[in-house]
C-alpha cells in the first residue's frame, strides 16, 4: 500500500476531559482503570470490543496463569480479587473444585465479562466499548499527550486527558506517540498465535479413566504424537498446552499454533482468524477420533481473534533482562513480583520452544521504570508491551502480571494527578506504600525506598 492520499481537514466533537484515560480493557486495563478511579481520578476505559477481558475473553485463553511462586501467592491485590469474584459467580460445582486453587484456574468467559463490567462500574470508571484509538495528539514539545482521537460508530471524537495508560497489549498509543519499540526476535520473528476454543458435550470422568489406563499425561503427549504420525494432525506442537475444565461437560482448549501472524497488522489477524478456525476444526476431529470422552464433543465457541503472545516492546527507562529474571533481582522501585517461567513458543513448526523456570518460592522484582516509555512524561505502558528483552517478555506477558502492572500504573496516575506532576515526578516510596495498602505483595523483606527504620541496612 504505497499509494497515499490526503484527507480533507475536519472539525470533530470534543468529549469531556478524562483525567486518566486507559486504552485497552484486558487484565492490565481493567486493573489500571479500577486503581485510578479508586485513587480519586476521573477515569475512562476505552475498549475496541463490546466487553472487557482481553485474551481471556476475546481469544478464549482457557485459564489464568499462576498467581503463585509454587509456594505462596505473589500476585495479589486487584488481580486476585477479580479472579476470586469470577470463582464466586460460577456454578457451585466449579466453586467447590477451584475454591483453593490459585494456579491455572479455568476461565468461564461469560462470567468473567460480567465480573469485569461490575467491577469497573463499582469503582466509578466510565467505560466506552466498540472504540479504537485513531490518533494521538501531542503537546508542542512532544513530551506529553494532550488527548486521543477515537473512532467508533458515532464517528470521530477528541478526548482530552491529563494522563494516559496504554494497556492495548500492542503498545498502540506509545507507537502513535513516537515511542521507540522493538518487535519480535533478531530476525523479526514473532511467537505464533493460538486459536483457543470451548468444547461442550465432553465426558470428563471418561477422559480421566483414559489417562489412567493409557498412562498418557493431561497434555496428551503420546496421543498427539500418534495422531501426527498418522497424519491426523500437522507437524508442530507435540502436546496440548491446556485443557481447562469449566465443568465435567465443558472444557477450554489451548492447542496448536498459527504461524507468521503480526498482531499489529489487520491483514495478518484476518488470515490468522481464518486459519485458526480451520485448525480448530481439524483438532476437533482429532479429539473425537483419538481421545475417549470427546467422542461427541461440540465446538460451541472459538476466539474472536487469535491469542497473541507478542508484538511491540517499548523502550522504557529500564529494560528488564533475562539476567534479572535468572538472578531473581529486586529493584528499589519494584511495583510487583513475577515467578512465571520464560515461555517462548516456537516461531515455526520446526523450531524448539524455550522454557526457563525459577525455583519454587523464588520471584524477581518488576521495577516501575519498565512502564515509563522514553520521551513521554504522562504515559504508562502496562502489560505485555512493557520494557523488557524478548526472553523476559515471554514471562511477563501473562494475565496475572498484567493485573499487577495495571494496578501499579493506575495507582501512579492517581498520585501524579494529585501532585500535579508527570509519571516520573511521583514519589515511588509513596506509590509502593499505596500498593502495599491495596494488598499488593512486594516481597517478605520489602520496605519502601526511603522508609527504612533507623539502623536498617540501606
213 with 290, same domain: the answer is: yes
CA-to-CA distance for 79 and 34, rounded, in angstroms? Answer: 11
C-alpha distances in Å from residue 339, one per residue of 29, 61, 166, 189, 458:
21, 20, 24, 25, 25
CA-to-CA distance for 114 and 91, rounded, in angstroms? Answer: 14
CA-to-CA distance for 283 and 261, rounded, in angstroms? Answer: 20
Q: Find the mean pLDDT for residues 182-192.
A: 91
Strands 18-23 and 334-338: unpaired
With beta carbons less than 8 A apart as the criterion, state whether 166 and 45 touch: no
Higher pLDDT, 384 or 450: 384
Say if residue 137 is exposed, middle or buried (CB neighbours under 10 Å; 0-12, 13-18, 19+).
Answer: middle
125 with 177, same domain: the answer is: yes
- pLDDT at residue 40 tops 80: yes
33 with 155, same domain: the answer is: yes
CATH number reported for the structural domain that contains residue 140 in this entry: 3.50.50.60
Question: Which grid cell is 453?
Answer: 527504620
Does 210 fall in a domain? yes
Query: Alpha helix locations (H) across 124-167?
Result: none
241 with 292, same domain: the answer is: yes
CA-to-CA distance for 406 and 341, rounded, in angstroms? Answer: 20
111 with 201, same domain: the answer is: no
Question: Which grid cell is 137?
Answer: 495528539
Widest CA span of the chain, in angstroms? 70
At 352, the pLDDT band (50, 70, 90 cuts) reads low
CA-to-CA distance for 386 and 388, rounded, in angstroms? Answer: 6
202 with 262, same domain: the answer is: yes
Does 192 fall in a domain? no
Of the candidates 388, 401, 253, which has an alpha carbon nearest to the alpha carbon of residue 320?
Answer: 388
Does 2 fall in a domain? no
Which pLDDT value is given to residue 2?
80
Number of domains in the chain: 2
430 with 347, same domain: the answer is: yes
At 456, the pLDDT band (50, 70, 90 cuts) reads very low
Which pLDDT value is given to residue 445?
76
Of the candidates 262, 223, 286, which has an alpha carbon nearest to the alpha carbon of residue 347?
Answer: 262
Q: How far is CA 455 from the centre of its chain?
A: 41
C-alpha distances in Å from residue 310, one per residue of 30, 152, 284, 337:
20, 26, 26, 21
Which pLDDT value is given to residue 347?
59
Host H or E run for residue 29? helix 27-38
Does 7 fall in a domain? no
With beta carbons less than 8 A apart as the criterion, state whether 253 and 195 touch: no
117 with 81, same domain: the answer is: yes
Cα four-point dihedral sign 364, 310, 382, 197: negative
At 272, the pLDDT band (50, 70, 90 cuts) reads very high
Does 177 fall in a domain? yes
Does 344 fall in a domain? yes
35 with 171, same domain: the answer is: yes
Does 444 fall in a domain? no
Provide CB contacts within 8 A for 241, sequence distance 6+.
194, 219, 254, 255
Range of the domain at 78: 18-185+310-437
- pLDDT at residue 150 tops 70: yes
30 with 176, same domain: the answer is: yes
- pLDDT at residue 451 tops 90: no
With beta carbons less than 8 A apart as the criterion, state whether 174 and 373 touch: yes
60 with 174, same domain: the answer is: yes
pLDDT digits (tens, 9 = 90+) for 409-443: 999 999 999 999 999 999 999 999 999 999 999 99
- pLDDT at residue 237 tops 90: no
With beta carbons less than 8 A apart as the criterion, state whether 386 and 370 touch: yes
CA-to-CA distance for 268 and 166, rounded, in angstroms? Answer: 22
Of the candidates 51, 266, 247, 48, which has an alpha carbon nearest to the alpha carbon of residue 148?
Answer: 48
216 with 150, same domain: the answer is: no
Q: Which of 184-193, 233-242, 433-442 has the lowest mean pLDDT?
A: 233-242
CA-to-CA distance for 380 and 87, rounded, in angstroms? Answer: 30
pLDDT digits (tens, 9 = 90+) for 98-135: 999 999 999 999 999 999 999 999 999 999 999 999 99
pLDDT digits (tens, 9 = 90+) for 365-396: 999 999 999 999 999 999 999 999 999 999 99
Amino acid at each position: 500500500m504505497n499509494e497515499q492520499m490526503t484527507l480533507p481537514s475536519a472539525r470533530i466533537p470534543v468529549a469531556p476531559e478524562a483525567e486518566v484515560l486507559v486504552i485497552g480493557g484486558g487484565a492490565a486495563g481493567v486493573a489500571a482503570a479500577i486503581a485510578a478511579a479508586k485513587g480519586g481520578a476521573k477515569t475512562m476505559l476505552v475498549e475496541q470490543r463490546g466487553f472487557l477481558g482481553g485474551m481471556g475473553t476475546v481469544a478464549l485463553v482457557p485459564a489464568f496463569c499462576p498467581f503463585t511462586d509454587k509456594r505462596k501467592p505473589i500476585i495479589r491485590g486487584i488481580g486476585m480479587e477479580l479472579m476470586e469474584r469470577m470463582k464466586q459467580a460460577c456454578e457451585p460445582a466449579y466453586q467447590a473444585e477451584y475454591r483453593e486453587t490459585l494456579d491455572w484456574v479455568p476461565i468461564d468467559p461469560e462470567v468473567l465479562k460480567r465480573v469485569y463490567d461490575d467491577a469497573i462500574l463499582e469503582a466509578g470508571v466510565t467505560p466506552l466499548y466498540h472504540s479504537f484509538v485513531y490518533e494521538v495528539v501531542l503537546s508542542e514539545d512532544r513530551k506529553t499527550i494532550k488527548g486521543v482521537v477515537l473512532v467508533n460508530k458515532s464517528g470521530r471524537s477528541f478526548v482530552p486527558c491529563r494522563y494516559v495508560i496504554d494497556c492495548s497489549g500492542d503498545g498502540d498509543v506509545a507507537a502513535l506517540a513516537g515511542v521507540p519499540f522493538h518487535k519480535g526476535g533478531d530476525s523479526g520473528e514473532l511467537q505464533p498465535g493460538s486459536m483457543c476454543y470451548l468444547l461442550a458435550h465432553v465426558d470428563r470422568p471418561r477422559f480421566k479413566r483414559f489417562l489412567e489406563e493409557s498412562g498418557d499425561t493431561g497434555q496428551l503427549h503420546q496421543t498427539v504424537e500418534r495422531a501426527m504420525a498418522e497424519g491426523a494432525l500437522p507437524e508442530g506442537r507435540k502436546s496440548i498446552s491446556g485443557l481447562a475444565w469449566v465443568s465435567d461437560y465443558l472444557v477450554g482448549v489451548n492447542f496448536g499454533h498459527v504461524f507468521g501472524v503480526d498482531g499489529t497488522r489487520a491483514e495478518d489477524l484476518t488470515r490468522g482468524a481464518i486459519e485458526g478456525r480451520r485448525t480448530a476444526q481439524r483438532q476437533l476431529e482429532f479429539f473425537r477420533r483419538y481421545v475417549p470422552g470427546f467422542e461427541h464433543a461440540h465446538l460451541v465457541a472459538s476466539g474472536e481473534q487469535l491469542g497473541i503472545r507478542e508484538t511491540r516492546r517499548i523502550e522504557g527507562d529500564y529494560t528488564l533482562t533475562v539476567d534479572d529474571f535468572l538472578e531473581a533481582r529486586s529493584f528499589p522501585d519494584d511495583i510487583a513480583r513475577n515467578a512465571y517461567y520464560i515461555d517462548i513458543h516456537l516461531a515455526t513448526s520446526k523450531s524448539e520452544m524455550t522454557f526457563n523456570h525459577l525455583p519454587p518460592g523464588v520471584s524477581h522484582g518488576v521495577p516501575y521504570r519498565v512502564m515509563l516509555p522514553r520521551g513521554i512524561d504522562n504515559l504508562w505502558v502496562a502489560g505485555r508491551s512493557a520494557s523488557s528483552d524478548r526472553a523476559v517478555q515471554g514471562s511477563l506477558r501473562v494475565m496475572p502480571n498484567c493485573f499487577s502492572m495495571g494496578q501499579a500504573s493506575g495507582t501512579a496516575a492517581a498520585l501524579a494527578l494529585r501532585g500535579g506532576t508527570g509519571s516520573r515526578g511521583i514519589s515511588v516510596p509513596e506509590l509502593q506504600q499505596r500498593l502495599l495498602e491495596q494488598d499488593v505483595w512486594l516481597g517478605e523483606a520489602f520496605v519502601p525506598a526511603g522508609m527504612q527504620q533507623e539502623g536498617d541496612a540501606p
